Amino acid sequence: MANSFVTNLYLSPTQGASAQRLSVTSGAAVEFGAFDPSTNVISFDVQTADVFMTLDGSTPSTANGHKLYAGRAYSLSIQAARVASFIADSGTAIVYGTEMSS
Separation CA 101–CA 86 (nearest Å): 23
Residue 30 falls within a domain, yes or no? yes
Neighbours of 12 (CB within 10 A): 9
- Per residue in 42-95, pLDDT (tens digit) is 999 999 999 999 999 999 999 999 999 999 999 999 999 999 999 999 999 999
Q: Does some domain include residue 10?
A: no
pLDDT of residue 16: 92
The answer to whether residue 73 sits within a structural domain is yes
Residue 38 counted as domain residue: yes
Per-residue DSSP letter, 53:
E
Residue 46 lies in a domain: yes
Asked if residue 1 is part of any domain, the answer here is: no
Residue 58 belongs to what domain range? 17-101
Q: How many domains does the chain have?
A: 1
CATH code of the domain covering residue 88: 2.60.120.770
Tell me if 33 sits within 8 A of 100, measured CB to CB: no
The answer to whether residue 6 sits within a structural domain is: no
Task: Evaluate whether 13 touches 75 at the Cβ level (below 8 Å).
Answer: no
The structure's pTM equals 0.87
CA distance 37 to 30: 21
